[in-house]
Homo-oligomer: A and B are copies of this chain.
Amino acid sequence: MNLALPEIVYGEIRNHEKLIKSIVGNRKAFLITDKNTTQCRELFKESILFQLPYIELEAGDSFKTINQVSSIWKFLNDYSASREDIIFLLGGGVVSDMGGFAAATYKRGIDFINIPTTLLAMVDASIGGKTGFNFSHFKNNIGTFSHPKKIFTDVHFLKTLPKPEFLSGMAEVFKHAIIGDSKFWNYLKEHNLKDLNHDYLITRSAELKTKIVQSDPEEKNIRKSLNLGHTIGHAIESYQIEVDFPTMHGFAIAKGIIIESFIAYKIGVTSKTVFLEIKSVLSNYFKGHLNFKIDLLKILTLVKGDKKNIKNKINFSLPVSIGKVLINQEIKEKELENLMKEFLEND
């Protein structure tokens, strides 16, 4: 498939009023957002976006449910939205995932536009067309591949973002560096959070992801490299929801990257040096946020239910070096159990 990914429009959203109006044309437009964006809306209340009929979802990954998706469908029905209309999704990954799914399935698909307000959404969730929601304890168990028509990325929204949320988003930025750009990795590890150039950070990270998605939109192949850290990370995230101690996505992923790098080292995919480099940089960067109490058997059960598995082997994308990842690394359950046990005993 030769898919042209949607353009990312950078810059202040308030300077794009004309463009937004021309995209809407004479269609009806709607806004989907969540309770986390109250401050964003306060900042941008003059914008045409905030004159639109809107629905405000409950915020947080634990609310990424079929019930909230249904409430979006109901909202669109209540306003007699037609399949020619358009939806703006303002918020973090939860909004673009659920809102994108609702849009992609409402009357078999209505146009939508992503306006990410979190770092995580700007560098990751808003790009690549993955939509969906959690179902039966599985993260993003149900979803589609459906791309927005455009993405508006305005770093000013980040001013409203609580610090831990920003930090959480950095996990995917580090992941993109490990997958494809060792210079970027060095830049990240040599700068404190407050010294980072946001524009560079976001455009480079988004660029790395876009390039990969472009060449394999439906994750048959090379796009799987973006799953680095996610086989274990998703299981940790799901487990934390189960035990009522939800973690932010990025922290689960950072921990996942560390554990998966250990696995890569133990099965000979990477060197001990690379594992230790990844472990020390991420442990230091996310200090205080990675102390998960890990119930090995429950995590293994969740790992087995992962979307990425084929024929009962656990499928990993593992680092070879900083800037290179190997996909389709299959590990049998028993071996995984032993490796994780070894990691946890030494962690």
Interface size on A, residues (CB 8 A): 39
> Per a CB cutoff under 8 Å, which of B28, B77, B135 touches A138?
B77
Of residues 117 to 137 in A, which have CB atoms within 8 Å of B's CB atoms? 130, 132, 135-136
A143 at the B interface (CB under 8 A):
yes
Copies in the complex: 2
| CB–CB A70/B77 < 8 A | no
Q: Check B77 against A66 for contact (C-beta < 8 Å).
A: no
Q: Is the beta-carbon distance between B66 and A105 smaller than 8 angstroms?
A: no
B311 touches A82 (CB 8 A): yes
In the bound complex, what is the Cα–Cα distance between A104 and B84 (angstroms)?
22
Q: How far is the CA of A108 from the CA of B109 in the complex (A)?
A: 15
> With A and B bound together, what is the CA distance between A104 and B143 in angstroms?
8
B80 in contact with A70 (CB, 8 Å)? no
A22 within 8 A of B: no
- Shortest distance in angstroms between A330's beta carbon and chain B's nearest beta carbon? 12
A50: interface (CB < 8 Å) = no
State whether A305 and B73 are in contact (beta carbons under 8 Å apart), knowing that A105-B143, A109-B145 are contacts in the complex: no
A327 lies within 8 A of chain B by Cβ: no
Known: A66-B66, A70-B66. A144 touches B141 (CB 8 A): no
| Nearest chain B residue, comparing its CB with the CB of A310 | B84
Q: Could you list some 18 contacts between A and B, CB below 8 A?
A: A26-B311, A73-B135, A73-B141, A77-B135, A77-B138, A77-B305, A80-B309, A82-B307, A82-B311, A105-B142, A105-B143, A106-B141, A107-B141, A107-B143, A108-B143, A109-B144, A109-B145, A144-B144
